[in-house]
Amino acid sequence: MKLSQRNGLLGSALRAVARPPLIFVLGSQRSGTNALRQSLSLDPWVRGFNEHPSNRLYEDWELRPEPEIRGFLRRQQGTVLLKPIRSVIDRPVPDFLAEFAAYQYKVAWIYRDPVEVFASRRKRWSYLDDVDRFVDEWNRINRSALDAHDERMAVVNHGDLIASRAVFDDLCGFLGVHGEYLFRRAANRPYDEIPAGDLQRIQRATAETYAALDRARAHVPAAGHRA
């Protein structure tokens, strides 16, 4: 066998067992995760995979267990971006990330004004109008992200991303990608769409978690590098 052929086979074997770098886009539903996924996936070196009812990566909208998708991930070239937000609704974020401890991963955790999240959910899914259920879930999911204490996670505010492209550029630097900025200011006024009593209940019940997220987003970890 020629040396070039042997090297080619060796390279193929190494690629077959190598784990690709991963990016997880996570957050509470209707917090801007889809816009962020789309923006980051426009880097030509990024393979972005959105949630799906059922395919090689997802089952019932949740990411399949790592052993089941390991082979698929290893066949990808470049960075793999996943948006498995349904996987962290009922599962603690640290437990989910622990499943991928053997990978080089980064997390973009996006959060949004809970009043805007509630208004967006109610508009998209009219049956989701239970304020108490909403605030319990919103607090639990976002607190779980903070409990991870993971230096590979950058916490970003949806409003900041809309207000300043520089915030998006800083996030791209941390993730080691070159995405394209797709964020646009919404035309609707969610604070005018929610009854005053519900508005006050949401603001009171989420104030502590919202403040903790604001403190976390004040510090963006050191910029990453493309793997």
Domain residues of the chain, as ranges? 3-217
For the residues 13-18, what does the mean pLDDT come to? 52
- Joined together, the tokens standing for residue 72 give 């698929």
DSSP helix/strand/coil, 130? coil
Residues in the chain: 227
Give 38-76 pLDDT, tens digit per residue.
999 999 999 999 999 999 999 999 999 999 999 999 999
Give 24-38 pLDDT, tens digit per residue.
999 999 999 999 999
**Structure-token match 């089952």, residue found:** 59
Give 91-121 pLDDT, tens digit per residue.
999 999 999 999 999 999 999 999 999 999 9
- CA–CA gap between residue 84 and residue 50 (Å, rounded): 7
The dihedral formed by the CA atoms of 92, 93, 99 and 105, expressed in degrees to the nearest 10: 180
- Please tell me what DSSP assigns to residue 103: S
**Structure-token match 């995979």, residue found:** 49
- CA–CA gap between residue 112 and residue 116 (Å, rounded): 7
Q: Name the band, by pLDDT with cuts 50, 70 and 90, for residue 126.
A: low
- CA–CA gap between residue 106 and residue 22 (Å, rounded): 6
Query: What does the pLDDT read at residue 227?
Result: 39
Contact 214, 157 (CB under 8 A): yes
Nearest to 67 by CA among 26, 15, 102: 102
Contact 139, 207 (CB under 8 A): no
Contact 166, 159 (CB under 8 A): no
- CA–CA gap between residue 166 and residue 100 (Å, rounded): 30
**Thinking of the domain 3-217, which architecture would CATH place it in?**
3-Layer(aba) Sandwich (3.40)
Give 127-162 pLDDT, tens digit per residue.
667 999 999 999 999 999 999 999 999 999 999 999
DSSP helix/strand/coil, 125? coil
* Residues ≥6 apart with Cβ < 8 Å to 49: 57, 80, 81, 82, 83
Query: What does the pLDDT read at residue 219?
Result: 60
Q: Taking the mean position of all CA atoms in its chain, how far away is CA 21?
A: 15
DSSP helix/strand/coil, 96? helix
